[in-house]
Structures are given as C-alpha cells and as structure tokens.
Chains A and B, each alone.
Chain A
Amino acid sequence: MIVGGGLGVFVSCSGSKRQPSPLSSYVTSGQFTTAHPSVLSAARDYFDIYPTHVRQPIAFNHQIHLKNGMQCTDCHKGVAQGPDAGIPSDKFCMTCHQVIATDKPEIKKIAAYYKKGEDIPWQPVFWFYQSAHVKFQHAPHIRAGVDCATCHGDMRKRTVAVRKAGLTMGFCVSCHRLHKAPTDCTTCHF
C-alpha cells in the first residue's frame, strides 16, 4: 500500500502535465477515487497532513508591503464581503511595480508573467481537504473583529505565507467557545 501510494503520487504528478487545479494533487482528480488521486493522498487526508511550507512561484514579501503602509484588504479585497479573501492578479501588482522596485529579481518575474499575459500560479497555503466538508467563510470572521493574524500569523514579521496555525477542528472550536460563537456542526460543516 505504501509503495502504491508513492507510485500514485508520481503518476499523478509527472504523468499528466495539465492538471485542472493547483490543488489537484491533494484534493481531486479522477485517477484513484473521485476524492483522491492516490492512496497516499487519501492517507494524508485521513491524518490531516497539510504541507506547511508551500513552494510559491514568487517569494512574495508580505512584511515589506505592510511596512510601507499597505493594508491586508488592499490586495485581499474580498475578505469582508465573501467567503474567500481572494488574491489579486498580476495586473494589480503591476499598477505599482511598473515603477517601484523594477530591478528586484522577484519583481522581474512578475513582470515576465504579466508580459506573457499570464497570471501568477500561486499555490494555496490555507485550505481544507474536501472530505473534511468544511465551508469556511472569511466575511463573518472579519465582521466579528477577528484579527487576520489569529489564523494567518503576524505577517508583519514574516515574508512568505506559511501555514503555521494547525487549523484543526480543535483550533477552530476553542476560539469559537472563547468568543461564544456558535459551535453547531453545520456552522462550519455542510
């Protein structure tokens, strides 16, 4: 089973270059079952194993942006309105980086993507396995005054986003209890 799992991952990654979603190697693909591309992926899901450090196409520096007076919501615009915070396209990056820090290697990478007409293929850092049936909504948390740093860590002290908080059910429920937020199953699971 273990060997099979290892193989499954290899097949799912190198076998098909066109993967429908960046999450596909973790979440869905038609290859193994409808929910898992490989035995290993199923096992990871079962044990709640998430990668903490994700290799991103661009080492985005949150620290420097915040230090220069930007707010989280300047880029993650949807956070107060909808379920997803959202990541802006490189078109948005280029509104400033046409002129600012154009000589930095990471900015050059963004400019190269933009020139090709492509968006940056960001890799998700915070997400849930589909089989967890979690439907997380950002907006109600923001409305309740939860600080972004509670889950995402203090980005003023960190450059790239890292999944530091476990985001296990215990993590969520303890905070919900503390703030007397509902702990009904259907509050988070659907």
Chain B
Amino acid sequence: MKELMDRRNFLKFSAVGGATVALDACGKPEHHLIRFIPEEELTPGVAVWKPGVCTQCGAGCGLEVRVMEGEAEVTRQGQVGLIKMGLAKKLEGNPNHPVNQGKLCAWGQAGLQVTYNPDRIRFPLKRSGPRGSGEYQEISWEDATKELASHLASLNSQEKKDSALAFMTRPLRGQRAVLIGRFLSAFSGSRLVNFEFFEEAVLRRANALSFGHYQLPTFDLANANYVVSFGADFLATWNSPVAQNLGYGTMRQGRPGQRAKLVQVESRMSSTGANADEWVYARLGTEGILALGLANVMLSEKLRPAEAAGQAGTLLEGWSKGLSDYAPENVEKMTGVEAAKIRRLAREMAAHSPAVAVIGGAPLAQTNGLSNALAVNALNALVGSVEKTGGVSFTPQPPMAELTPSKAGTSVQELSDGILKGSAPVEALLLYGANPVFASPAAWRVREALEKVPFIASFGSFVDETSILADLILPDHSYLESWIDNVPESGTKQAVASLAPPAMLPLHHTRAMPDVLLDVAQKLGGEAGKALPWKTYEEMLQAAFDPLRNHSGSVSAKSSDDFWSEVQAKGGWWSAEVKSLPVTKTAKLPSGPAKVTEPQFDGSAQEYPFNLLPYASQQFGDGSHANLPWMQEMPDVLSSAMWSTWVEINIQTAERLGIEQGDLLEVASQHGKLQAPALLSPGIAPDVVAIPVGQGHENYGRYASQRGANPIKILAAQTEPETGQLAWAATRVKITRLGKKGKLILFAGGLREWPREFRHR
C-alpha cells in the first residue's frame, strides 16, 4: 500500500472513528424482541417434507409441505416475541395422491399466505363496539368457549320445538362435516347451511337423476378422443382442475400420434376455451338445446347403435321419437349455432370414440340449468361414454362409517327468508368460512337477516363481510397447523380419504374448530356430549380411519397404531382398486320427464340488452382468495388485466356503442349497479358482458378491501326451480358510458394485435 491516506482509507477511519460509541448500543440484548423457548428441536437449515391436505377449493388435493426451521413472530402468554420453529416454506402436490399426482394449482401454491397472512385473527375476540363496526377486544380461550357453551346451553333449555341454532359453513367433506352434523344433531331443529357462490347442486342433482349418484362427475380426459365442453372451465376453476389438467395434458401430448379434439361451447372465452381447437358460441342458457341438437343428428343419421341412447335419454321428453323438435335448423334458431356446424360436430363426435361431453359453469346457473345438465348427460349416454374408458364416471367413496353429515342442509336464501319473515328465527348462528354477505345477491338480504340474529360466533381465520357481524370470534388454525382430512368427490377412480397431521405448530393463539366444538360439546354434556364422545379431533379421525385397515389400499398394517401412523405418513388412504362407481339403472324422476326449456332472464331484452355473465376468476374463485397477495399479483390469463374489476365486452359491440378500452362503464341490472372500466375482447359474444367475481370486498383484510366491484350484488335472485340453486348467469343488464376513463391495468399492455378477422367478419 503506497498511500496511507487514499479515499478508501479516509472514509474507513473517519466512519469508524465517528461511530464506535454509537455502535456499542446496538449489541445490547434488551433492545431486541424477546425470544421464546422453542417448542420443537430441528436441525437448522435442513428441510423436511410433510404431508398435507389442500383446502383452497373442494377438489381435495394432497399436499407436501416443505418445513424448515425459521424464526416467527408469535404471541405467547400475551407477549409478542420471536420463536424458532418449523415453518412451512413451500407447498407442492403429493406425488402419490390419486387426485393431483404431485401437481398443485395457483390457489394451492398461494395457500402459504393463508397461514402467514398478516390479517389473520391471532386470538379469540369478543365484540366491544356496535355490530359490524369491527371493534373487538381480546379474550382468553377459556372465556370464549365458556361464553359459546353458555349461549348454546340456553338454546337447548328453552322448551321450543326448534332450538333455532344454525351452522353456516363452506361445503365440507370428510370428518369435519360429520363432526358438525353430529354436533347439530344434539340440538333439535338446528339447521346446517352450506354456502358457496359457485355451488354445484344442479349438476349433482342431474347426475343423481341420470346416473344415480348425487356427485360431481370425473372425466377420463387422458383416454378421450373428442371432448365437447359446455361452459365448463375445467382447466382453471371448475370441479377438480388439477386432475383435469393432468388428464388434458395426456390427452393432447401424452399419446404419440394421437391428439384429441376439444370443442368449447361458451359465450365468453375462458382459459379452457383458449385451449380448445374450436370455440363455439351458443346463446347463454341454450347449451342443453345444442346438446340435444347433436343427439338429434346422431339419432337421425343412425351414427350410434339404437340401444346406445341408454337410460339417461329416457329422462328426456321426445327422446324416444328421435328428438324431432331438435333438428339442426330448429336448434340454430334457438342457440345461434349454424345447422351445418351442428351436423359436423355431431358426426365428428360420433366418429371419434371415446368422446365425452362436459357441462359446468354458466349453463347450469340458469333457470333451465337442470334440463341443460340432463341433456348433456343424455348425450354422454348416447355416445357411450358413461362409465367407460375416456368417458364420464363417478369417484367411489372410502368405506368409512360416516362420510357425510346426517343432516341435510338448507340454503342461505331459506335461512335469510325465515329470519326476515319471522317464520324460522335463528337464535344463534355459528359461522365457518362461508361469506354469504359478500357472495349472495342483494335481493337475498342476508346482511339484514344476520343482523337480526341475537348471537353469532365465527370460527373463521379472517374478518370478512359476514364474520364482521360476529359477537364472538374463535379463530381456527390454518390448514397447515391443524389435523386435516378430506374425501375427494371427483377427480379419480380410486376411493380416497386424505389425511394429514399438523405440518407446523400454530403461529398464533388459535384453536382448531373441531377441537373447540368437541370441548363445547363436553361442556354442554347431555345429547351433545353423547354425540361427540371424543376428546380431540385426532381421536375422532383415528376412529374414523381405522375401519379402512380391513380394506386393500395404499396402507397395509397389522396393528391399529401402525396403520394410523402409516396413514399419516402417506397423507391418506386410497383404495388399491381403480374402479369407478357403478351407474345405477333405477334412477327415480319425481316430476316427470324433463324438458329442455328456454332459459328465463331477469329484465326485459329491450331495456336491458346484455346478458351479464359473472365468472369464477382464476385468481379469486368466488372471492375467498382475494386476500392472498400472490393471487392479487396474478394477472388474468387471457387479458392480463389485474388489481381491479373490469367489464369484458365484445369489440364490435363496443365499437357500435362508441366504447373504448378503459372507458368507465356503469353496469345496471334491475337490482343494482356497479362501475368498472371496459375491457374490449374478441372472445366474448356480442350480447354478453362478463365481469370476474372476487373483487369488491368491503372488509376482507388489507389486500382485498376496497378494490374493484362485486358483480354478485347486482344479480337477480333467480333460481333453478328444482334445486333452488342461484341462477347466477340469468340477469340482464344495461351499460352506460360515464364519459371518463376507469382504472384498467393490463399487465401485458393489452392484446398485441387485434385479430382482424373479428373486426371484419
């Protein structure tokens, strides 16, 4: 070193000299957050993969959770501090699980942010301000469970026929559902309310009528040669998307020299539609008619053997006469699909066996949804795809003593009606994850009804539009922190019972909902204590899984304990036999043969010229994932729009109305209106406007609140009459340009080229 005092050394000396005194203060331990004694000893830096079960949607995929030692800020004994603990760092699919076979979707990946969400409720809360104000004070678990038990005890002591207790939950499968059912059975007249916006009651009912199974169907896409999908976005949000994606991958690329054709019938291009070879637009609600048009061609041209129509077809009026009302020319008038195209599609479908038809989404959310589904089921029977390789089948259920709650559910609409009319008042409501205040039409007046309920307790992990009305919040563990099980309804031909022990210790002062219910049941004693004799949920699960030991499956063990630990290690039990449920031939049809009726829409076509299509967004589903930042960061796959709500409108329609990209529009139905910017799209029918569901939360944490608009609130309370399911795609709207620009953010800056053929067709 030649120069002693170059620039580097000058800085070195002066900086060190200037601050040695100051430096000293930094090392003082008392300036740091306290550190709690770790509750588990782990090798630092070494990851362990533990099994898990995904609860982000109803598909029931198996997880692998990467757990590694880390530091987490936690609350212990009322103090905030750091603790070294095993933390879930990454989620992947369980490679051995029959449904997802090692794969996981974006919702599943973002599941980590449920556990680490800063808006999670960390301890039990009791309302201190007026209802809905969100003012709560922390209470102890002892006080919280005592309070819940005392409220429930007073219900049972009142000498009434109906105990007026209701339990509102997102649809659950497996032992959690059984537990809730058993808990409610101790209260005479109590009601179970299952709620989700995109419910599948219509399809399940149709399958019960056609095939004898009240269940969602499973499609063997991997072996199919021709797939016609009626509105089902099966690669993104519908049914069991990961299983369907796997099958689709094999169908397209897994068989050398053989590539199946996918035809998507829908009115707004979904990501499944974008993958299709042919995209067919049929008017909203007429998809079933198109299915019968295809059947008509097959029958009249004798493309299928005479007996092939099968039992499903006998449910449809006019089937035996060859569906004479559904000649291609007639169908063209009703659906808008050219007769020649119908003939071609029918011939292709009949020629490329195994062919399968899929229905889901908007065609079922119509006043004629059930008949649409029955028509597609009949078409499947005609092309010979039922219970066949490359066709449609039903997932067998594991041989456990109890699988579904003993109680049949009522709908939120009935609950709300009963409260408002006073015919079926609710004295106490328990909430678990369902958010009907956000996800039900304004016409159902759910919030108004819930405000009349004297006592509401919520087990949810987050404050949302519904649980903000709760008087008592008993926060559940996240699904990575609790014992979790599920019985997949579809997506595989094996009977599956997924199970996982907690992958990590709870971060916060929370308690698992099943354990709270068991505790409360013990406190109440009597009927409730008898119905739920277990001390912990773990005990209950072990008792429920034990009978599986006697069946050949993924786990074979001699003793009960060995079986139990092995099931935990594998992430569940699944049958060795790969065989779908047999389709029963004696389906009962209560109200005579179904007609494929014309759909009824709310609002006159003159005043409200557009059909509103709210669709399940790939980011938020029905809105329950809107509080996950990763989902907010994910742009829409087709348009790359993000961070808000937009109105998709056909380019030509927009041109005619003088609407430009990003213009703020007012979308008004007979029941309400919302504002959102226009997103011009070539992939949407000219008489349809589509709005993604999921944004527009008022109260759902820092990431979701006050962002975009909620299209559910402007929907009409139209239902499919047979099942009572909300016909969410049966509302007409008008649009008005407000003369200013809205906030439309396109991540990729919009379509690079407008497809010319769409503009000058």
Q: Are A118 and B26 in contact (CB under 8 A)?
A: no
The reply on A104 being an interface residue by CB < 8 A is no
Take A6-B19, A118-B81 as given contacts and tell me if A43 and B11 are in contact as well, using a CB distance cutoff of 8 Å: yes
Binary interface encoding of chain A residues 51-68 relative to chain B, with 1 for a CB under 8 A from any of its CBs, else 0: 100110100000000000
Residue numbers in B under 8 Å from A49 (CB-CB): 12, 16
Residue numbers in B under 8 Å from A19 (CB-CB): 31-33
Q: Are B28 and A10 in contact (CB under 8 A)?
A: no
Residue numbers in A under 8 Å from B44 (CB-CB): 78, 82-86
The reply on A14 being an interface residue by CB < 8 A is yes
Q: Are B71 and A21 in contact (CB under 8 A)?
A: yes
Take A82-B43, A82-B44 as given contacts and tell me if A17 and B16 are in contact as well, using a CB distance cutoff of 8 Å: no
The reply on A30 being an interface residue by CB < 8 A is no
The smallest beta-carbon distance between A154 and chain B, in angstroms, is 24
The reply on A22 being an interface residue by CB < 8 A is yes
Q: Are B25 and A123 in contact (CB under 8 A)?
A: no
Stretch among B34-42, B115-123, B427-435, B510-518 lining the A interface: B34-42
Binary interface encoding of chain A residues 64-93 relative to chain B, with 1 for a CB under 8 A from any of its CBs, else 0: 000000000000011001111110111110
Q: Are B29 and A57 in contact (CB under 8 A)?
A: yes
Residue numbers in B under 8 Å from A57 (CB-CB): 29
The reply on A120 being an interface residue by CB < 8 A is yes
Residue numbers in A under 8 Å from B46 (CB-CB): 78, 81-82
Take A44-B15, A81-B43 as given contacts and tell me if A91 and B38 are in contact as well, using a CB distance cutoff of 8 Å: yes
Residue numbers in B under 8 Å from A128 (CB-CB): none
CA distance A17 to B750 in the complex (A): 48
Q: Which residue of chain A has the shortest Cβ distance to B47 in the bound complex?
A: A82
Residue numbers in B under 8 Å from A117 (CB-CB): 36-37, 76-77
The reply on A143 being an interface residue by CB < 8 A is no
Take A9-B26, A51-B23 as given contacts and tell me if A118 and B35 are in contact as well, using a CB distance cutoff of 8 Å: yes
Q: Which residue of chain A has the shortest Cβ distance to B35 in the bound complex?
A: A119
The reply on A114 being an interface residue by CB < 8 A is yes
CA distance A25 to B27 in the complex (A): 8
Take A6-B18, A40-B22, A89-B84 as given contacts and tell me if A121 and B38 are in contact as well, using a CB distance cutoff of 8 Å: no
The reply on A148 being an interface residue by CB < 8 A is no
The reply on A177 being an interface residue by CB < 8 A is no
The reply on B14 being an interface residue by CB < 8 A is yes
Partner of B31, one of A13, A83, A91: A13
| A12, A40, A54 — most chain B CB neighbours (10 Å) | A40
Q: Which residue of chain A has the shortest Cβ distance to B23 in the bound complex?
A: A9
Q: Are A118 and B36 in contact (CB under 8 A)?
A: yes
Partner of A13, one of B12, B26, B76: B26
Partner of A9, one of B22, B34, B35: B22
The smallest beta-carbon distance between A89 and chain B, in angstroms, is 5
Take A10-B22, A78-B44, A81-B46 as given contacts and tell me if A40 and B15 are in contact as well, using a CB distance cutoff of 8 Å: yes
Q: Which residue of chain A has the shortest Cβ distance to B34 in the bound complex?
A: A118
The smallest beta-carbon distance between B340 and chain A, in angstroms, is 62
CA distance A114 to B22 in the complex (A): 31
CA distance A49 to B22 in the complex (A): 15
The reply on B45 being an interface residue by CB < 8 A is yes
Residue numbers in B under 8 Å from A90 (CB-CB): 37
The reply on A20 being an interface residue by CB < 8 A is yes
Q: Are A54 and B22 in contact (CB under 8 A)?
A: no
The smallest beta-carbon distance between B490 and chain A, in angstroms, is 41
Interface on chain A toward B: helix, strand, loop, or mixed SS?
loop
Q: Are A83 and B45 in contact (CB under 8 A)?
A: yes
The reply on A190 being an interface residue by CB < 8 A is no
Residue numbers in A under 8 Å from B45 (CB-CB): 78, 81-84, 137
CA distance A17 to B30 in the complex (A): 8
Q: Which of A1-50 contact B (CB under 8 A)?
A: 2-3, 5-6, 9-10, 12-14, 17-22, 25-26, 39-40, 43-44, 47, 49
Partner of A91, one of B12, B16, B26, B37: B37
Q: Are A40 and B19 in contact (CB under 8 A)?
A: yes
| B11, B27, B73 — most chain A CB neighbours (10 Å) | B27
CA distance A54 to B27 in the complex (A): 7
Residue numbers in A under 8 Å from B34 (CB-CB): 118, 121
Binary interface encoding of chain B residues 324-357 relative to chain A, with 1 for a CB under 8 A from any of its CBs, else 0: 0000000000000000000000000000000000
Q: Which of B65-119 contact A (CB under 8 A)?
A: 71, 73, 76-77, 80-81, 83-84
Q: Are B19 and A9 in contact (CB under 8 A)?
A: yes
Residue numbers in A under 8 Å from B77 (CB-CB): 117
| B8, B19, B29, B41 — most chain A CB neighbours (10 Å) | B19
The smallest beta-carbon distance between B424 and chain A, in angstroms, is 49
Q: Which residue of chain B has the shortest Cβ distance to A123 in the bound complex?
A: B27
Residue numbers in A under 8 Å from B31 (CB-CB): 13-14, 17, 19
CA distance A117 to B82 in the complex (A): 12
Partner of A18, one of B16, B23, B25, B33: B33
Residue numbers in A under 8 Å from B73 (CB-CB): 20
Residue numbers in B under 8 Å from A119 (CB-CB): 35-38, 83-84
Residue numbers in B under 8 Å from A6 (CB-CB): 18-19, 22
CA distance A43 to B83 in the complex (A): 31
| A9, A12, A26, A57 — most chain B CB neighbours (10 Å) | A9
Q: Are B12 and A47 in contact (CB under 8 A)?
A: yes
Q: Are A2 and B43 in contact (CB under 8 A)?
A: no
- A9-B19, A43-B12, A47-B16 given. 13 additional CB < 8 A pairs? A13-B25, A13-B26, A14-B25, A19-B32, A40-B15, A47-B11, A51-B23, A55-B29, A78-B43, A86-B44, A118-B35, A121-B35, A123-B27
The 6 residue pairs across chains A and B that have the minimum distance between CB atoms: A82-B45, A25-B26, A83-B45, A84-B44, A9-B22, A119-B35
